[in-house]
């Protein structure tokens, strides 16, 4: 991992004083994750370049940790070769004085604007060249970014996420260092190996004077402070490595219309109340967003939330404060770990069941089992099912043609497909069904989401 | 006196304070059999005389008693029990568990109790308390029988108490010691001709002596078991009665009563009954017999026991079936169930009661054979089978041979009675009753902490959190559980090599097997692809018939986590069709007499399934290294030209560059584009199962030979697995093994797998040993341990690998995988197979170094 800083200030070798590193020495500094080497590939009065080369110990990185999560802590790791939060740590340790804006030998140069060029040999950018530009150009840099193919033997794989980035500007050296310190981890956006409680303070200190004016300050803060994934997803990710990234992309339609889900939940609650359902199931309750409404509303007396994900249930338990509810609500909500493709006798005898945006997460081939589990075995008097309306997807500009709204969706149905399915299920299991749109109505493609309300035939 | 107390009963001691109940209990019963109210008072309040704790004390006493009775343990209640309401709740508890109640009354004179009480240091009751208890006891004596006690023993003096002793009486229904073998016959209903023919077909010699008494013998001493409903409706009821009574009396047969016998018995006893459902036929035929025959019949029926538990508890017979909680129990409710079954309270379109399908909920391990409801053909469901095939209605008379579980039947000569509901009214499904039932599995059968019994390793325990993770994966990603009959086990690498310039070397694998007493091992080339389980059916009907899968399918190809290997179903079916044709050409279906085969295989290229991983991790790291190291070298060289001493850094970076290029070369071996089927390579290495067989008794040479014929039949799609036999105690052979490994890894293959020659191998101590050990090549390990792992300072640290957990998992998963298959081929209910599959996945979710 290599960072070079070049100046053409005259005399250029003043850079040595500013960095507190002699241009004619090769110096090595121990770091917790390896070593930092500082040397000058060129040092003339006209042009001087300081190089910071890091040797990261990939074995030490993994073995030092008590319990790795098995996927991020790989020996096969780009960390030894690319700029990341390690580089920030090295800058702070090796160029700490310069970073803080101190220089005893040349105090007058500290605030002086110098012609500087920084080259980062390899940095991953999860957002390509536009991200690199949007981070550095507002700070006055001229940016050049070179991209690379992933593997020239397999051109169909496209480009790698790596760039060689050259930044040039005229500014005080400590500002350049602070910019690099904060923005390199933001570009990388990978797991930070050293995220401590003092990271917020660090961000404020190193961002002083510029971050508050930066147009991308929200993104910068969010990514800089990114935490390692919750440990609870680990058992799952071991089994299904392809499913590691649980974090939905910020561009999904669901996020663009933040109120849609809330609207959906309120309509479902209204529907349940209309049928005077007192004992209700929230099947696929996830982290408990519907449960929160059901818990608060006194017309519901007994509520059971079921989900297949243990971590999601743990979060629901936490969010709803189930272990410290006031006594009149104590015991009202029960969380169960279970699955909608297995018969579950704990679900029998309820007034109603809600399945909010759940069925599209099941493989189509498992839907018949699901139908029997809910409509034949659990058999509540009322079943409310909501699912996306695929026709509406074309109104989401960010969604590519034919793509689904969430990468775990196994299918998304048109209004006709949903209606056909709902009618078939109702006929087979002795229910009547009514179908409604959820959310704003478009004259041609309908609503973003659709709801089927199944009511059991009496007798 | 010598009392006989049923071995499974609730014994109530009844007596006033000071009557000596506790001493009596101590003397005659095991300490664990006795539940004392005083002890329970002490448990909840630290004071056994604390009367305010009585309520709580009885709560726990009832709770413990309930648990004991549910487990079938004799339980003695040491409390005064002088009040009817105290006894009532205990009797109700016994009824709930279908257990008989015996009362033992210590009916001592008042003065004795009072004197004893005075002598007790810990407790002083007033005289009036004891007097009151004795009054209550005396008032109870005459009522005990009516309260529901099966037996009342009253001991009225200290001498009688001293003379008391007892023996445990097995219940009438307990014939665990009778191991048969049995031929169990369904509802006969007077169809004597068919019965006679069937019994002879079963190999019995039937003779009648001069008095007309039947003498029935089987050359292999088999026994007949009649499931009741011998009488009514049919033409030769008294012949059937004579035959069965003679067989039972001579010890060649057992018989349990049916509801028709029960009604007839009441009629014979003079209790008024409605004469219907063919009873008139019996009465007419009996009227033609002499009185002695009628008396014999009455006596015979009076002695019949509701059900039998046979063959060490492995077999239960009852007319209408019996849930597991009632096996070996005796109560009116058990008898009711055995005779009539239970109904749901609803009726069908013929006005007949809809029966509660107890067999669907049955999870017992005993086989239950029953009759009562005529059905077109007998079908297994959760280890139960109804063999009443409606002979009297023109169906068949069916026998089940046990333990062979073979059905033998005899067609009805004609329709003797028209059934209310036609015999085959319900359309015969393409699926078996078990398959229909298994359409949806019950979570209670598989979730939570599991203790799975395996043939190979005994009990394997699965922690709850791992079972939960496995349930999530199965629910969200896996194929239909009906296909998932096996998941492959993980495989441990060889012990870490301490000498060579890599981490794994064949010597460690050879020496492992040598230490375990294995002389010959098979080295198989390890293919670098993705693990796949392939189930191939001879045609679409087999998928339905054998696997209960409704869609017309040739089988499935699934991953080690139970997910469809191919996202595109057409691709999957195309692959299966090729494998099917190759199996046909190779004659595998014929040779194994099977319509389906299960292969354990590797499918190449790795990039097919691991594209994302390859690009995101391997190619990316290779690329980053390539650019980053070149830039570093360039800068260092520049500095060197200035006269700076960067020689050490330059040599360090240069060697990293070499490693990075080797790393890139390593992963590129396992990548090629797949446009169509022809770009795939399938390398099967086990032929694990076929109809009725798990081929774990065949050695690896057999497996490879079968697969050789398969791959030869379609070498465009399939490749065989190169192998070498090595004798691990012959230095020359070992050397050849090492050289072989060096050659294949130098050619860019992943490495090899060393297996003991038998599929399932044990050491001299009888312990299961690793079924396979992988020895991966030096270059392959670069993509596991990183480009620079071969640098000395890295190797030295990496040599500290902990293999124990991996090896333990490998063994457990191996045992579980084969267990699931064995259960499947034995036709067990799907939840029993699924339990094993889920357990393998659960063990895979345990935290084990993923690089091993």
Residue-wise pLDDT tens digits, B354-376: 888 899 999 999 999 999 999 99
Are residues A308 and B475, on separate chains, in Cβ contact within 8 Å?
yes
A 309-328 → B contacts, CB under 8 A: 309-310
Please state the ipTM of this predicted complex: 0.83
Are residues B619 and A154, on separate chains, in Cβ contact within 8 Å?
yes
Domain ranges of chain A: 2-243, 253-456
- Select the residue from B621, B782, B851 to test the A interface by mutation, using most A Cβ atoms within 10 A: B621
Topology at the third CATH level for domain A2-243: c-terminal autoproteolytic domain of nucleoporin nup98 (3.30.1610)
A 174-193 → B contacts, CB under 8 A: none
Burial letters for A306-336: b for 16+ Cβ neighbours within 10 Å, e otherwise?
bbbbbbbbebbbeebebeeeeeeeeebbebb
B 577-616 → A contacts, CB under 8 A: 612-613, 615
Q: Is B54 exposed, middle or buried (0-12, 13-18, 19+ CB in 10 A)?
A: middle
Are residues B624 and A340, on separate chains, in Cβ contact within 8 Å?
no
List beta partners, residue A80.
none
Who contacts B398 (Cβ-Cβ below 8 Å, separation ≥6)?
A: B185, B186, B378, B387, B388, B389, B407, B408, B409
Q: What is the pLDDT of residue A73?
A: 54
CA pair distance A177, A200, nearest whole angstrom = 18
* Contact (CB, 8 A) for B518 and B769: yes
Out of B439, B636, B845, whose CB is closest to A239? B845
Q: Residues of B with CB below 8 A from A37's CB?
A: 649
In the block, which residue shows the tokens 């349990």? Answer: B256
Topology at the third CATH level for domain B496-527+722-801: Dna Ligase; domain 1 (3.30.1490)
CB distance from B1 to chain A under 8 Å? no
- Select the residue from A22, A342, A373 to test the B interface by mutation, using most B Cβ atoms within 10 A: A342
Q: What is the pLDDT of residue B524?
A: 96
List, for chain A, all residue ranges whose pLDDT scores fall below the cut of 50: 66-72, 194-195, 227-258
pLDDT tens digits for range B653-684: 999 999 999 999 999 988 988 888 889 999 99
User: Rounded to the nearest 10 degrees, how much is the dihedral formed by the CA atoms of B552, B553, B558, B564?
Assistant: -50
First to last CA, chain A: 74
Q: How far is CA B805 from the centre of its chain?
A: 26
Q: What is the pLDDT of residue B675?
A: 84
Q: Quick one: closest CA in B to A347, which residue?
A: B443
Domain ranges of chain B: 2-169, 174-420, 434-493+803-852, 496-527+722-801, 530-599+688-720, 606-668
Residue B821: name the closest of B807, B839, B834, B808 by CA.
B834
Topology at the third CATH level for domain B174-420: Purple Acid Phosphatase; chain A, domain 2 (3.60.21)
- Tell me which CATH code domain A253-456 carries: 3.40.50.150
Q: What is the pLDDT of residue A63?
A: 67
Who contacts B818 (Cβ-Cβ below 8 Å, separation ≥6)?
A: B454, B455, B456, B694, B696, B760
* Helix (H) or strand (E) run with residue A166 in it: strand A159-171
Categorize the per-residue pLDDT at B215 as very low, low, confident or very high, splitting at 50, 70 and 90. very high
- Give the sign of the dihedral formed by CA A94, CA A99, CA A102, CA A106: positive
Who contacts A400 (Cβ-Cβ below 8 Å, separation ≥6)?
A: none
CB distance from B468 to chain A under 8 Å? yes
Categorize the per-residue pLDDT at B112 as very low, low, confident or very high, splitting at 50, 70 and 90. confident
* Contact (CB, 8 A) for B400 and B414: no
CA pair distance B795, B496, nearest whole angstrom = 11
Q: What is the pLDDT of residue B580?
A: 97
List beta partners, residue A281.
A304, A353
The arrangement of secondary structure in B2-169, i.e. its CATH architecture, is: 3-Layer(aba) Sandwich (3.40)
Which pair of tokens denotes residue B468? Answer: 């939960």
Q: A with B: how many residue pairs have Cβ under 8 Å apart? A: 206
Q: What is the pLDDT of residue B49?
A: 85
* Helix (H) or strand (E) run with residue B633 in it: helix B620-641
Q: What is the pLDDT of residue A230?
A: 35
Q: What is the pLDDT of residue A397?
A: 78
Are residues A236 and B469, on separate chains, in Cβ contact within 8 Å?
yes
* Contact (CB, 8 A) for B697 and B759: yes
Out of B439, B471, B787, whose CB is closest to A339? B471
* Contact (CB, 8 A) for A26 and A37: yes
Q: How many CB atoms are closer than 10 A to CB B816?
A: 28
**DSSP conformational letter for B357:** -
Q: A64-73, A269-278, B444-453, B485-494 — which is least confidently predicted?
A: A64-73
Are residues B673 and A156, on separate chains, in Cβ contact within 8 Å?
yes
- Select the residue from B462, B470, B478, B624 to test the A interface by mutation, using most A Cβ atoms within 10 A: B624
Nearest-neighbour CA in chain B from A285: distance (Å): 14
Q: Residues of B with CB below 8 A from A1's CB?
A: 628
B 809-848 → A contacts, CB under 8 A: 841, 844-845, 847
First to last CA, chain B: 71
pLDDT tens digits for range B535-581: 999 998 999 999 998 778 999 999 999 999 998 899 999 999 999 99
Which pair of tokens denotes residue B496? Answer: 């870490």
Cα distances (Å, whole numbers) of residue B551 to A368, A370, B564: 12, 17, 15
Angle at B101 between CA B100 and CA B104, to 5 degrees: 145
Q: How far is CA B488 from the centre of its chain?
A: 19
CA pair distance B337, B330, nearest whole angstrom = 11
CB distance from B627 to chain A under 8 Å? yes
Nearest-neighbour CA in chain A from B137: distance (Å): 45
* Helix (H) or strand (E) run with residue B308 in it: strand B307-310
Strand locations in B116-218 (E): 151-155, 165-169, 174-175, 182-185, 205-208, 214-217
pLDDT, greater one: B500 or B108: B108
Out of A58, A241, A310, whose CB is closest to B786? A58
Q: What is the pLDDT of residue A167?
A: 96
pLDDT cut 70: percent of chain B above it: 99
Are residues A238 and B673, on separate chains, in Cβ contact within 8 Å?
no
pLDDT cut 90: percent of chain B above it: 76
CB distance from B621 to chain A under 8 Å? yes
Which pair of tokens denotes residue B28? Answer: 């005659």
Does B798 have pLDDT greater than 70?
yes
Neighbouring C-alpha atoms within 13 Å toward the C-beta of A415:
16
pLDDT, greater one: A405 or B196: B196
Q: What is the pLDDT of residue B357?
A: 86
Out of A77, A153, A236, whose CB is closest to B472? A236
Are residues B668 and A341, on separate chains, in Cβ contact within 8 Å?
no
Q: Is A281 exposed, middle or buried (0-12, 13-18, 19+ CB in 10 A)?
A: buried
Nearest-neighbour CA in chain A from B845: distance (Å): 5
Q: How far is CA A178 from the centre of its chain?
A: 25
User: Rounded to the nearest 10 degrees, how much is the dihedral formed by the CA atoms of A33, A37, A41, A42?
Assistant: 120
CB distance from B672 to chain A under 8 Å? no
Q: What is the pLDDT of residue A257?
A: 45
CA pair distance B80, B102, nearest whole angstrom = 15
- Give the sign of the dihedral formed by CA A320, CA A324, CA A326, CA A332: positive
Q: What is the pLDDT of residue A192?
A: 53
Are residues A75 and B668, on separate chains, in Cβ contact within 8 Å?
no
Q: What is the pLDDT of residue A242?
A: 36
In the block, which residue shows the tokens 């922690």? Answer: B463
CB distance from A75 to chain B under 8 Å? yes
In the block, which residue shows the tokens 């109530």? Answer: B12
Query: Torsion-angle region of residue A158: left (phi > 0), alpha (psi -120 to 50) or beta?
Result: left
pLDDT tens digits for range B800-850: 888 999 999 999 999 999 999 999 999 999 999 999 999 999 999 888 788
Within B276-331, where are the H helices? Answer: 279-287, 291-303
Q: What is the pLDDT of residue A459?
A: 56
Q: What is the pLDDT of residue A195?
A: 47
What SS3 state is found at A353? strand
List beta partners, residue A225.
none
Q: What is the pLDDT of residue A208?
A: 83
Q: What is the pLDDT of residue B673?
A: 86
Q: The whole model's pTM is what?
A: 0.85
CB distance from B781 to chain A under 8 Å? no
pLDDT tens digits for range B604-615: 999 888 888 888
Q: Residues of B with CB below 8 A from A408's CB?
A: 476
């Amino acid at each position: 991992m290599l960072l070079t800083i070049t100046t053409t200030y005259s005399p250029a070798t003043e850079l040595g004083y500013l960095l507190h590193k002699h241009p004619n020495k090769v110096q090595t500094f121990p770091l917790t994750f390896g070593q930092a080497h500082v040397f000058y590939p060129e040092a003339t009065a006209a042009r001087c370049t300081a190089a910071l080369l890091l040797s990261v110990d990939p074995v030490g990185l993994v073995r030092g940790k008590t319990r790795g999560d098995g996927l991020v802590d790989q020996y096969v790791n780009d960390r030894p070769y690319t700029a990341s939060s390690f580089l920030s740590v090295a800058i702070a340790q090796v160029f700490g004085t310069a970073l803080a804006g101190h220089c005893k030998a040349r105090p007058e140069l500290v605030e002086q604007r110098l012609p500087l060029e920084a080259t980062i040999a390899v940095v991953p950018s999860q957002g390509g060249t536009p991200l690199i530009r949007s981070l550095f150009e507002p700070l006055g840099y001229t940016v050049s970014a070179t991209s690379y193919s992933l593997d020239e033997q397999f051109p169909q794989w496209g480009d790698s996420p790596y760039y060689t980035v050259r930044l040039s500007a005229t500014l005080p050296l400590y500002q350049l260092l602070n910019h690099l310190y904060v923005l390199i981890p933001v570009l990388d956006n990978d797991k930070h190996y050293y995220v401590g409680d003092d990271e917020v303070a660090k961000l404020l200190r190193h961002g002083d004077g510029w971050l508050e004016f930066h147009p991308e300050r929200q993104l910068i803060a969010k990514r800089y402070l990114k935490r390692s994934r919750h440990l609870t997803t680990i058992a799952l990710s071991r089994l299904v490595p392809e499913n590691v990234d649980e974090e939905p992309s910020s561009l999904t339609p669901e996020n663009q219309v933040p109120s849609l889900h809330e609207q959906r939940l309120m309509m479902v609650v209204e529907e349940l109340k209309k049928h005077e359902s007192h004992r209700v199931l929230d099947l696929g309750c996830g982290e408990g967003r519907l449960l929160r409404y059901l818990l608060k509303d006194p017309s519901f007396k007994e509520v059971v939330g079921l989900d297949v994900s243990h971590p999601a249930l743990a979060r629901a338990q936490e969010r709803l404060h189930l272990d410290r509810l006031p006594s009149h609500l104590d015991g009202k909500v029960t969380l169960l770990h279970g699955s909608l493709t297995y018969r579950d006798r704990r679900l029998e005898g309820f007034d109603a069941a809600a399945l909010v945006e759940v069925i599209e997460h099941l493989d189509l081939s498992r839907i018949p089992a699901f139908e029997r589990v809910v409509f034949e075995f659990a058999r509540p008097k009322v079943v409310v099912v909501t699912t996306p309306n695929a026709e509406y997807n074309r109104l989401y500009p960010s969604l590519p043609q034919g793509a689904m709204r969430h990468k775990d969706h196994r299918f998304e149905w048109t209004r006709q497909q949903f209606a056909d399915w709902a009618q078939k299920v109702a006929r087979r299991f002795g229910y009547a069904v009514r179908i409604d749109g959820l959310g704003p109505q478009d004259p041609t493609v309908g609503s973003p989401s659709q709801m089927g309300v199944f009511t059991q035939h009496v007798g | 006196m010598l009392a006989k107390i049923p071995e499974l009963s609730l014994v109530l001691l009844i007596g006033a304070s000071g009557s000596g109940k506790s001493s009596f209990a101590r003397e005659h019963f095991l300490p664990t059999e006795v539940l004392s109210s005083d002890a329970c008072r002490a448990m909840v309040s630290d004071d056994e005389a604390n009367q305010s704790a009585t309520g709580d004390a009885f709560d726990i006493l009832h709770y413990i008693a309930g648990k004991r009775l549910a487990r079938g343990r004799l339980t003695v209640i040491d409390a005064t029990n002088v009040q009817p309401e105290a006894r009532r709740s205990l009797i109700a508890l016994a009824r709930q568990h279908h257990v008989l109640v015996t009362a033992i009354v210590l009916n001592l004179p008042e003065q004795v109790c009072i004197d004893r009480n005075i002598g007790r240091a810990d407790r002083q009751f007033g005289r009036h308390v004891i007097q009151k208890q004795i009054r209550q006891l005396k008032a109870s004596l005459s009522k005990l029988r009516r309260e529901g006690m099966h037996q009342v023993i009253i001991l009225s003096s200290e001498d009688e108490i001293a003379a008391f002793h007892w023996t445990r009486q097995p219940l009438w229904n307990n014939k665990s010691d009778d191991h048969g073998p049995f031929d169990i016959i369904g509802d006969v209903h007077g169809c004597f001709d068919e019965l006679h023919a069937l019994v002879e077909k079963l190999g019995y010699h039937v003779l009648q002596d001069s008095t007309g008494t039947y003498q029935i013998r089987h050359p292999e001493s088999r026994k007949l078991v009649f499931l009741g409903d011998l009488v009514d409706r049919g033409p030769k009821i008294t012949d059937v009665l004579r035959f069965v009574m003679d067989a039972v009396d001579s010890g060649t047969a057992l018989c349990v009563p049916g509801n028709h016998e029960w009604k007839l018995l009441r009629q014979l006893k003079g209790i008024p009954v409605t004469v219907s459902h063919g009873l008139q036929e019996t009465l007419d035929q009996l009227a033609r017999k002499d009185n002695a025959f009628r008396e014999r019949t009455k006596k015979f029926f009076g002695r019949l026991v509701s059900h039998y538990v046979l063959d060490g508890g492995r077999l239960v017979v009852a007319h209408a079936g019996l849930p597991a909680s009632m096996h070996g129990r005796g109560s009116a409710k058990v008898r009711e169930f055995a005779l009539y079954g239970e109904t749901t309270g609803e009726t069908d379109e013929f006005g007949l009661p809809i029966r509660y399908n107890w067999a669907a909920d049955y999870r017992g391990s005993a086989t239950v054979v029953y009759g009562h409801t005529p059905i077109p053909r007998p079908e297994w469901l959760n280890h139960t089978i109804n063999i009443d095939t409606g002979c009297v209605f023109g169906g068949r008379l069916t026998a089940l041979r046990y333990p062979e579980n073979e059905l033998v039947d005899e067609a009805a000569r004609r329709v003797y009675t028209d059934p209310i509901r036609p015999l085959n009214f319900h359309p015969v499904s393409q699926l078996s009753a078990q398959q229909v039932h298994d359409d949806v599995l019950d979570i209670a059968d598989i979730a939570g902490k599991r203790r799975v019994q395996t043939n190979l390793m005994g009990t394997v325990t699965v922690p709850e959190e791992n079972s939960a993770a496995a349930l999530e994966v199965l629910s969200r990603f896996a194929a239909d559980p009906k296909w998932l009959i096996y998941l492959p086990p993980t495989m441990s690498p060889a012990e870490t090599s301490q000498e060579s310039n890599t981490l794994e070397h064949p010597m460690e694998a050879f020496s492992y097997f040598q230490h375990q007493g294995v002389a010959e091992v098979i080295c198989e080339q390890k293919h670098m692809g993705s693990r796949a389980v392939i189930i191939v059916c001879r045609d679409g009907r087999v998928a339905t018939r054998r696997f209960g899968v409704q869609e017309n399918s040739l089988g499935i190809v699934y991953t080690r986590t139970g997910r469809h290997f191919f996202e595109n179903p057409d691709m999957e079916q195309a692959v299966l069709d090729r494998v099917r044709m190759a199996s046909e050409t190779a004659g595998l279906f014929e040779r194994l007499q099977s319509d389906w085969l299960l292969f354990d295989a590797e499918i190449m290229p790795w990039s097919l399934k691991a594209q994302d991983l390859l690009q995101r991790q391997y190619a990316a790291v290779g690329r980053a290294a390539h650019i980053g190291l070149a830039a570093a070298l360039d800068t260092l060289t520049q500095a060197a030209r200035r006269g700076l001493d960067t020689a050490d850094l330059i040599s360090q970076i240069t060697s990293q560059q070499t490693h990075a290029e080797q790393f890139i070369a390593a992963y590129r071996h396992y990548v090629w584009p797949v446009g169509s089927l022809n770009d795939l390579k399938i390398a099967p290495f086990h032929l694990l199962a076929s109809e009725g067989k798990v081929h774990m008794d065949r050695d690896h040479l057999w497996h490879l030979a079968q697969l050789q014929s398969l791959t030869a039949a379609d070498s465009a799609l399939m490749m065989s697995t190169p192998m070498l036999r090595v004798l691990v105690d012959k230095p020359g052979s070992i050397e050849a093994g090492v050289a072989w490994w060096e050659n294949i890894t130098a050619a860019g293959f992943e490495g090899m797998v060393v297996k003991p020659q038998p599929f399932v191998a044990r050491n001299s101590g009888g312990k299961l040993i690793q079924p396979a050990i992988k020895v991966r090549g030096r270059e392959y390990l670069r993509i596991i341990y990183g480009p620079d792992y071969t640098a000395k300072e890295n190797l030295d640290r990496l040599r500290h690998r902990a293999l124990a957990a991996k090896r333990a998992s490998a063994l457990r998963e191996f045992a579980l995988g084969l267990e699931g298959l064995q259960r499947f081929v034995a036709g067990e209910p799907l939840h029993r197979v699924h339990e094993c599959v889920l357990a393998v996945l659960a063990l895979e979710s345990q935290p084990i170094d993923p690089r091993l």
